[in-house]
Amino acid sequence: MDIKVNVRESEGDAYVVDLTGEIDVYTSPKVKDAITELIDQEHYNLVINLEKVRYIDSTGLGVLIGGLKRVREHGGSVNLVCTNPQIKKIFDITGLVKIFGIFDDEQSAMKALV
Amino acid sequence: MNPALLEVSSHGTVELKIPGRAEWVAVARLAVAAVASRLRFSVDEIEDIKLAIAEACTNSIQSAGGQDAGTIEIVCDALEDELRVTVRDHSPAAHLEPVKIGGLDEGRTEELGVFLIRALMDSVDYTSDPHTGTELVMAKRVTA
């Protein structure tokens, strides 16, 4: 079980974090490190692509929430790309759909940042 | 001795012991998913069960301060119309109280985990004792 993290620059000052694999108590620190590094470099507009994430637990949600809180302090935003019904369900039942912008594709998520 | 020991008995009970460390949680959720797949659960319901069991194990590890939580014992009772899973640890301080969605603190993943367990399973009960540890019993009924 592992998570692959790929960070790439996109339009404007926005960055995309592509995640592949499973995000749980073991792998979430790797995701946290990538997001923290971007924010420390003063990149506050992020799209986190969960399209290739098969599983996420509360620690993964916590990492995303923590990132969102930090970028919002600087007027930024985190949008998510997610099409996996099971993962969308987790965002739904926890009420996190209300605090994250969740989109079906990267283009829409990027467009909603600006 | 193997760090993870899986025993299958003839009466539908599966017992698993894992080291109480983050890297072993995936083993627990996959093993319980395999047991759940022997009942008439849908794929989505099995995903729910996997997440609930993983959250219970994660709670044990977080209750130990994120360090080694010793051994976590997982007992799956595959009944006719229900899967009952017991997760037992030796942590004196469980954080398993019901959480209202409006009361979620964005920074506290323990509460998110407990919320998910209660949302995904049909029944959740627990006992916590500073001397013997915490036992969480959760069940999901087969609806198909």
Q: How far apart are CA B18 and CA B16, in angstroms?
A: 7
Search chain B and give the residue with CA nearest A90.
B116
Q: Report CA-CA distances (Å) from B15 to B9, B28, B115.
A: 8, 10, 25
> Which chain B residues are Cβ-neighbours of A95 within 8 angstroms?
101-102, 104
Predicted pLDDT at A49: 98
Mean pLDDT calculated for residue range B92-107: 56
Predicted pLDDT at A34: 98
Contact A44, A67 (CB under 8 A): no
Taking each helix axis as running N to C, give the angle between helix B109-120 and helix A85-93, from 0 to 180 degrees, rounded to the nearest 10.
110
Mean pLDDT calculated for residue range B43-47: 96
According to DSSP, the residues that pair with B69 across neighbouring strands are none
B103 has a pLDDT exceeding 90: no
Q: Where are the beta strands (DSSP E) in A57-97?
A: 77-81
Predicted pLDDT at B9: 46
Contact A110, A10 (CB under 8 A): yes
β-pairing verdict for A15-23 and A3-9: antiparallel
Q: How far apart are CA B77 and CA B85, in angstroms?
A: 6
Predicted pLDDT at B97: 65
According to DSSP, the residues that pair with B81 across neighbouring strands are none
Q: How far apart are CA A109 and CA B18, in angstroms?
A: 40
Predicted pLDDT at B55: 95
pLDDT one-digit tens code per residue, A27-85: 999 999 999 999 999 999 999 999 999 999 999 999 999 999 999 999 999 999 999 99
Name the token pair of B3.
């760090």
Closest by alpha carbon to A44, among A66, A81, A71? A71
Mean pLDDT calculated for residue range B68-95: 87
Closest by alpha carbon to B66, among B130, B114, B132, B22? B22
Q: How far apart are CA A82 and CA A79, in angstroms?
A: 10
| pTM metric for this prediction | 0.89
Of residues B26, B102, B116, nearest to A58 (C-beta): B116
Mean pLDDT calculated for residue range B72-85: 95
A15-23: strand order across its sheet: A3-9, A15-23, A45-56, A77-81, A101-103
ipTM of this predicted complex? 0.91
B107 has a pLDDT exceeding 70: no
Name the token pair of A63.
């990492």
| Inter-chain CB proximity A95 and B25 less than 8 Å | no
Residue B31, chain A, CB below 8 Å: the answer is: no
Predicted pLDDT at A41: 96
Residue B5, chain A, CB below 8 Å: the answer is: no
> Which chain A residues are Cβ-neighbours of B110 within 8 angstroms?
58
Predicted pLDDT at B10: 42
